[in-house]
Amino acid sequence: MSLLKTGLIQHACSTDVQANLEKTIQLIRQAAAEGARLVVLQELHRSVYFCQQEDVSVFDLAETIPGPSTDALGQLAKELGVVIVASLFEKRATGLYHNTAVVLDADGSIAGKYRKMHIPDDPGYYEKFYFTPGDLGFQPITTSVGKLGILVCWDQWFPEAARLMAMAGAELLIYPTAIGSWPLDEADEKERQRQAWITIQRSHAIANGVPVVAVNRVGHEADPAGGPGADFWGSSFVVGPQGEFLYQADQTSEVAQVVEIDLARGEDVRRIWPYLRDRRIDHYPDLLKIYRD
């Protein structure tokens, strides 16, 4: 079937990991009750976004895959007959951790995982302290609802990642996200940043002829070091293969929104906008350089 009902789970998080999990499960159940066959969670949904500061005690939050979260979400996926895209702080080995998206198929099994490739290191987003860059490449995950091109947050700013997923056969691109504004920025700067985030992902849909699903968190999260913290701007959305909005959440509400995506539209769009046909790969070798001096 080409019509895929997809649930977007946007919510705030607290320091109570168990409470966060219970909220997530409740919202997944709500989306499934409304007919969702695919449910997408936000980045690092088990906890607050802990990368505002560098703190070695935070590594205690990490878990293995398979592990407690995949066990719980896999059981839920099987019970509800849905595919779940979750985002976890993966402990691969002592001293080796990843920001990992894992996909639970509708039978409860782990269909695959993607380890975040692009790792930021900016004020309030000190992810390089916690996460090793991914080593699984840009490979779609085959599930009972289709081939999912999973990327994570900072990956969404890089057109190369979206292109490689599309070239490998992804039927839609999915971006679990944790992004927001610095509270002390001017209102117009906050809005420019939010619109840039939306625009770049819409462009990936257009350039590759595939739908895009982006799921972000909401709410203010305090800086444990006493700084201004972060205001996560929600705005989770779905666009079709021409960048057209199918749904967009507001900036403050917790939602479990179900959106119908027509996966077959990408076939029609690519026939009239054949970007893959017209790529001049014989003239792109400099893309393998960091910069052209």
Place of tokens 């792109």: 284
Would you call 233 helix, strand, or coil by DSSP? Answer: strand
Reply yes or no on whether 43 is catalytic.
Answer: yes
Distance CA 282, CA 103 (A): 35
> Rounded to the nearest 5 degrees, what angle is found at the Cα of 122, between the Cα atoms of 120 and 41?
50
User: Which of 13, 90, 153, 221 does the annotation list as catalytic?
Assistant: 153
Integer angstrom CA distances of residue 4 from 33, 83, 211, 260: 15, 11, 11, 6
Considering the candidates 5, 13, 23, 43, report the single residue annotated as catalytic: 43
CB neighbour list of residue 240: distance below 8 Å, 6 or more residues apart: 205, 211, 246, 261, 262, 265
End-to-end CA, the chain: 49
The residue annotated as part of the active site, out of 116, 127, 171, 190, is 116
Phi, psi of 90 (to 5 degrees): -90, 130
Q: Is 51 a catalytic residue?
A: no
Angle, vertex CA 135, rays to CA 55 and CA 101, nearest 5: 65
Which residue, chain included where needed, has tokens 């066990």?
71
- Catalytic positions, please? 43, 116, 153
